[in-house]
Amino acid sequence: MIDKPVQQNRPSHVRHVVLGLTVAAYMITYMDRVVISSAVPSIQKEFGFSVVTMGWILGAFRWAYSIFQIPGGWLGDRFGPRRALAGIVSWWSLFCMATIGVWSAGSMIVCRFLFGMGEAGAFPIATRSLSRWMLPSERGFAQGITHAGSRLGAAMTPALVAWIIVHYGWRTAFVTFGSLGVVWSIVWFTYYRDHPAEHKGVNAAELELITPVAGRRTGIVGPVPWRAILSSSQLWILSSAYFCYGYSLAVYLDWFPKYLNAERGFSIEKMGLYASLPLLAGTFGDIAGGWLSDILAKRMKLAAARRIVAVGGFLIGAVAILAACFAADPVQSVWYSCIAMFGLELTVGVSWAIPLDIGGDFAGSVSAVMNTWGNMGGALSTTISGYLVKYYGWQSIFVVMSILAALGALLYLRIDAGKPILRARTATAQ
């Protein structure tokens, strides 16, 4: 009898379940997108595609992913994350499975493009889904752990895909991983609500805790203030830094398994294992970057807390990428790549926390612009890398990555996460 009121005063943990579901979504996005990178040698063998043709096939996903970032973010802001995220996850999962029916380079490019259209909205809408649930002091960690989920999914996938390919063929891998998204969509739509006040599992204590972040229960928000968003110089600097990150990430996701097989001499089985290691290191980088940024934010200004972690991560990446590129021993090269990926991923929780810091209810649209530029970098990287390898060798793509990582560090010195876009615009108007 005495304990019951005490129990009722304790906040429920629905927001943590929401975070867990979001982490699962991030895992599935990367599982589905890296299936093809591990299947590249098998697909090339069956269809006879050249390395340049594979560059265009891999790039088709990234071009669609870039182009549809802003429409995807708009869907989340306009119709709410519950419906929007369930819909797009179902869409891309079906096209992931549809890859088994392709018959030519053209059909595979179309399928990958439609797959990319669906995945484009994932991160902006997922970011929006957390904007009313996570406290400011939890945002860096939340963004870090969600992206850690994506990298963990990517790290687990190459070895699993390699095993499936050896035993059942490459088509089975696409069906296996595509089906995960369909199941997740059903669970998400059943459990998630766009506002904490709409969720039956949220008690009064948790609602009181979240209300300063979530605001009043208003349902669908108003029109997206694109003029204020697109005129923010901070957003464009952030987007440019994310372009540098996205370019390098795409190489590790799309080309690294092929690099290990063709240039470093790893077998298909060993390729799957060693290709997973940098992505696994990146998982720890995601968690560490978001966590460290939140810790620093309690001791110094938010701008400095975000900046220190991101600049340090980019510099670690720039140095380690070159070390990996020129290492004579193949295994040593992989270990340097792990350090590089850890450094690059230190920046990710920070980069995705900033749209929440400066975008508020329109974090989906703000992050969509940033992610558009990041994936433009990825699309260019995936497509151009095929030509760089053909004409200049594998080392050339890593030298370009190192230069861009150094540039990302310089750009982050000019980002101030403590200045919300809309508040700044309102103050200026007055």
What is the structure's pLDDT at 312?
94
Cα dihedral sign, 68-70-72-78? negative
For 208, the token pair is 């009181």
Contact 40, 275 (CB under 8 A): no
Residue 233's pLDDT is 84
User: What is the amino acid identity at position 156?
Assistant: M
DSSP string, 339-402: HHHHHHHHHHHHHHHHHHHHHGGGHHHHHHHHHHHHHHHHHHHHHHHHHHHHHH-THHHHHHHH
Residues of 160-178 as b/e, b for ≥16 C-beta within 10 angstroms? bbbebbeeeebbebbebbb
The two three-digit tokens of residue 258, written as one number: 């092929």
Residue with the two structure tokens 């199941």:
183
Q: What is the pTM of this model?
A: 0.70
Answer yes or no: are the C-beta atoms of 210 and 133 closer than 8 Å. Answer: yes
- Are 389 and 51 in contact by the 8 Å Cβ rule? The answer is yes
CA-to-CA distance for 285 and 211, rounded, in angstroms?
31
- Residue 290: DSSP 8-state: H
Mention every residue, 6+ apart, whose C-beta is less than 8 A from residue 426. Answer: none
What pLDDT sits at residue 1? 44
List CB contacts of 190: < 8 A, sequence separation 6 or more. Answer: none
Helix/strand/coil for 55? helix
Rounded to 5°, the CA angle 270-28-157 comes to 5
Q: Where are the domains of the chain?
A: 11-429
Dig out the tokens for 241 from the structure. 């830094």
Amino acid identity for residue 55 in this structure: G
One digit per residue, the tens of pLDDT, for the chain of length 430 reads 444 444 457 877 788 888 888 888 888 888 887 788 778 888 888 888 888 888 888 888 888 888 887 787 777 777 888 888 888 899 989 998 888 888 888 999 999 999 998 888 887 788 777 777 776 667 667 767 777 777 778 777 877 888 888 888 888 888 888 888 899 999 999 998 877 878 887 777 777 777 665 554 444 456 777 788 888 888 899 999 999 999 998 888 878 888 888 788 787 778 777 888 898 898 888 888 878 887 887 788 877 888 899 999 999 999 999 999 898 898 899 999 999 999 999 998 788 788 877 776 677 678 778 888 888 898 888 888 888 888 888 889 999 999 999 999 999 998 887 777 765 443 333 3
CATH class of the domain comprising 11-429? mainly alpha
- The amino acid present at 50, given as its one-letter code, is S
The answer to whether 38 touches 153, Cβ cutoff 8 Å, is no
The token pair at 333 is: 């090269």
- 3-class SS letters over 97-122: HHHHHCCCHHHHHHHHHHHHHHHCCH
CA dihedral 266, 272, 347, 239 (to 10 degrees): 90
Q: What is the pLDDT of residue 137?
A: 65
Q: How far from 256 is each of 76, 141, 192, 329, CA to CA, in Å?
A: 32, 28, 36, 16
Looking at residue 354, what is its pLDDT?
A: 83
Question: Crossing angle for the helix pair 14-47 and 139-168, nearest 10 degrees?
Answer: 40
